[in-house]
A and B are shown apart, each in its own frame.
Chain A
């Protein structure tokens, strides 16, 4: 038997009432629910005058049930008050966060919480934020052919690497080299994987400052067996994340290597994206290199080199290459700084650009003798500061979430998107926060409402024309000119004294 639409809506409405009842303290819950249930019965009978299904009737019934939430919150608030506390009496305006201001902050906080949760779930973001904690050696550059430009391409031969390493260098004190090649590796009896393997010098990881996980100690028997470091992706994809493969042997083509460790997820920021790294002595690197096989050369700058080789691209003069190749050093410090550097830069840019998209003043001017107290002013500025802080935090996490939604690990494109998203969210978020602040009563932080058109544009010289809005607490009127003039260029607050209170009973009992 299929449930009818009426039954489905009844169940929905009942669920709403029961959900609201959960907010009520347990001792009051049954009576509260009994009252709402009895009223619900009458609402249903009143709205369902015809036997057939009616959308407006159900909408009305559901709207009635949704009203149980404000009531439940009211009961909850009352239960928090001590029993001896007297009922609220009408009093002078007190500095407090009005409901809408508190809700505003709560909404921002919820958005931030969602962004943080998403960031923890997305592997790309996890890798990015984790990598930013690694200590990567400073002063590293990648040396390549000048003709490659911005593209990081393999352009250095292993012979040149050996040459440079063997000779005394003024600007460099350490070199490391790697070249990548496609090789097969039998990962199980049934499956032969085809990996991109990096043949690297023994000091590559120590120079980068990267430590592999589960590193196994070398034994006497391993002297002639090269070590292989697996990428985290390869380890999980081809070995199911099994830690017991560490120390085992694996064949690459005609050669056997010992699995010595796994590189932490997302820590490799250099070009090539290898699945595994075989660490070999320099002589073997040069002898095993195929004809014309090129790779990447990393160099560590001496203090003198650091002071003289400033910039992202620096030409490198050398005389060690018979082919007279023009070389340049490419700094990849940006690649190693993690997302925080980009975030800080985007935040700085957004703050710089903010005056271009909105006025940064809050319309503080007023033409009455009444001024809010220091306490009220402090709360108002704290509210603005909290909004900025929350928006800035949201921008950080949301930009990472959006940039690494599809990218599982670092990529220059993801970094670019992070910068764009972060800048956009900060800029428009701050603009929104400022425009919201300008429309909030400086006394109670309620948004002003009930806009009324005042004056005529044709009589601007006789009196101002624009929009007048009022605080429903009866504290202020906001005047916004339609045509800014030399004597009325920005919005103004008019603080109302207590003689206006009788018009605004909102600050009274209820």
Chain B
């Protein structure tokens, strides 16, 4: 997929949230205010288009915190360049979800 492909605002928000370090579905929901029925299908499509990739966290980390292991997402190189193009298109994106805000959560 070309890096200059246009993203919808929703997809751009999700990419921005992942870029800001919010790597889990539920955390992205909290950060963007989008419902689960929007966030997860959008992430499937972003992953299908190789803009993000997913990885299971280590079982040992989850065991240490006595919770099930989570699948987390991060941007690919293509995802980063697409997000960069989307930021030009949606200039308020970075203000909506800034890296500082994400890291404070």
Contact = CB atoms under 8 A, between A and B. Distances in A.
Interface in A44-94: 46, 63-71, 73-75, 78, 86-87, 89-90
A71 B6 contact: no
B58 to A, nearest CB: 13
Contact of B7 (A43, A68, A75, A509): A509
Q: What is the interface residue range for chain B against chain A?
A: 20 to 34
A386 to B, nearest CB: 27
B86 to A, nearest CB: 9
Contacts of A66: 36-37
B36 A64 contact: yes
Contact of B42 (A41, A505, A510): A510
B25 A70 contact: no
A508 interface: yes
Chain B interface secondary structure, helix, strand, loop or mixed?
Answer: helix
A505 B70 contact: no
Given A46-B26, A505-B8, A510-B42, 6 more contacts: A39-B24, A39-B26, A63-B36, A66-B36, A68-B36, A87-B45
Interface in B3-56: 5-12, 24-26, 29-30, 35-42, 44-46, 48-49
Contacts, number: 100
A35 interface: yes
A37 interface: yes
23 contacts: A35-B25, A35-B71, A38-B67, A39-B24, A41-B67, A42-B24, A42-B26, A42-B67, A63-B35, A63-B36, A64-B26, A65-B36, A67-B37, A70-B40, A70-B41, A502-B6, A502-B89, A508-B7, A509-B5, A509-B8, A509-B45, A510-B7, A510-B10
A238 interface: no
A54 to B, nearest CB: 18
Contact of A87 (B1, B25, B41): B1
Nearest to A64: B36
B91 interface: no
Given A70-B38, A71-B40, A42 B8 contact: no
Nearest to A67: B36
A509 B6 contact: yes
A308 interface: no
B25 A39 contact: yes
Which of B6, B29, B39 counts the most chain A CB atoms within 10 A? Answer: B6
Contacts of A69: 37
Contacts of A35: 25, 70-71
A506 interface: yes
Nearest to B14: A510
Nearest to B51: A509
A90 B44 CA distance: 18
A65 B35 CA distance: 10
Chain A interface secondary structure, helix, strand, loop or mixed?
Answer: helix
A502 B86 CA distance: 11
B7 A71 contact: no
A68 B38 CA distance: 10
Given A78-B48, A509-B5, A510-B42, A71 B10 contact: no
A37 B68 contact: yes
Contacts of B70: 35, 38-39, 42
A67 B34 CA distance: 11
Given A43-B26, A63-B36, A38 B6 contact: no
B105 to A, nearest CB: 11
Nearest to B36: A67
B40 A89 contact: no
Q: Which 6 A-B pairs have the closest CB atoms?
A: A67-B36, A67-B37, A74-B41, A508-B6, A71-B40, A70-B37
A509 B49 CA distance: 9
A69 B37 CA distance: 7
Given A63-B35, A71-B44, A510 B67 contact: no
A510 B11 contact: yes
B12 to A, nearest CB: 8
A90 B26 contact: no
B8 A508 contact: yes
Which of B37, B39, B45 counts the most chain A CB atoms within 10 A? Answer: B37
A63 B42 CA distance: 17
Contacts of B38: 67, 70
Nearest to B25: A39
Contact of B44 (A37, A42, A75): A75
A48 B73 CA distance: 25
Given A35-B71, A38-B69, A69-B37, A510 B8 contact: yes
Nearest to A69: B37
A505 B6 contact: yes
Interface in A468-510: 502, 505-506, 508-510
Which of A63, A70, A86, A509 counts the most chain B CB atoms within 10 A? Answer: A509
B43 to A, nearest CB: 9
A89 B26 contact: no
